Structure 1
């Protein structure tokens, strides 16, 4: 095939791993908080790169259904601005949600390098093995699990999520409700430290 034809084809297809113009604007919005490659640099914002495609889509749809959404400062672009997931998803259609999910699922997951309390992490590991490993296998490191990846997610995000589940603010299945119902605040902190320690 001649060089001109190859060039034309590459322009039509676009670079691999890059979403279409259908989500160019939403991708910039995502990048403002989650980073250009979907890898978080902020303790309250999760990494979304490398998560299971179905999980990303489901999470976006739960915001449409009223899941609590914290307002956070942008970490890239105009860092004086703030973002809220409830506001972000209002402007997305089903095709865009599916395309965003596929885009970020195709990117590599990178665990956050963050400080953690070793004693609390050890206690959290025991809690995980006793109550969480059945559904969150590999110490919470398997993207295809129902919860996707917990290991190496930002500690602040992990703790907030656990607190929301325990408080009934986020939709949870009966196993999740049962696993967290008897845990203390210290237990939730220990679990967050354990997942944060998986670097």
Structure 2
């Protein structure tokens, strides 16, 4: 949200600028510039060698399971996920736009082709079987209809009515756009709750879709987050 300065703040800013003109210029910083924000909306579908990805995926299985189904609820399932989404997340970890003690180090050693191959491998694996969601729950309401009174849009608008990701061009956008939205169905309630909480508190930004999710999550209270997480796990 763009915030306008008050007159007082604007005057203060001008006075500080005047003082700064009289002060000696500071030494140039040697700190590297952050990588530009990835614009995922312009990302075409990626393609990779799934067999080559499988050969490199053994280390991934320690957390995400040998078949892409996570071994613990704090890790995401990767099986059946959009290859383009997986590639973009690996790239974000490698470029420093997302930070995680494990994934940052893992992605640092990957070439661009490695990331494409790993993404293709996990996308080709069978996703976790569908569950039995409660269509009358608060989570179902938020997922399918949102909460206009709280400014919360329906999750299905980007993630598909069954949480499996959009299956056609998203909202009339070019066909390249919808590949960037992740599959949510079957992710653990713990993981979804953790990620929504990070978006809510501004801890996760990542690629440009992260800004969208921050705007959505900031209007969710803790009860809403837990309700959504439980519903998504049941999909």
- Common fold by TM > 0.5: yes
**Corresponding residue to 2:127 among 99, 109, 129:** 109
- Residue number in structure 2 paired with 1:123: 138
| 1:66 CA displacement | 3.6
Q: Distance in 1 between matches of 2:83 and 2:67?
A: 15
- Residue number in structure 1 paired with 2:51: 19
- Residue number in structure 1 paired with 2:107: 89
Q: Which has the larger Rg?
A: 2
Deviates more, 1:103-112 or 1:151-160: 103-112
- Residue number in structure 1 paired with 2:187: 153
Residue 137 of structure 2: SS of its match in structure 1? helix
2:98 maps to 1:67: yes
- Residue number in structure 1 paired with 2:6: none
Runs of 4+ in 1 over 3 A off after TM superposition: 111-114, 143-146, 172-175
- Residue number in structure 2 paired with 1:139: 162
Residue 161 of structure 2: SS of its match in structure 1? helix
Q: Distance in 1 between matches of 2:163 and 2:98?
A: 22
2:62 maps to 1:57: no
Give the RMSD, CA atoms, in angstroms: 2.7
TM-score, length basis structure 1: 0.72
Unaligned runs of 5+ residues in structure 2 are 1-48, 147-152, 168-177
| 1:187 CA displacement | 0.9
8 Å CA contact 1:112–1:154 kept in 2: the answer is no
Residue 135 of structure 1: SS of its match in structure 2? helix
TM-score, length basis structure 2: 0.62
Residue 47 of structure 1: SS of its match in structure 2? coil
Unaligned runs of 5+ residues in structure 1 are 1-16, 72-83
Residues 178-193 of structure 1 aligned to structure 2 (within 5 Å): 178-193=215-230
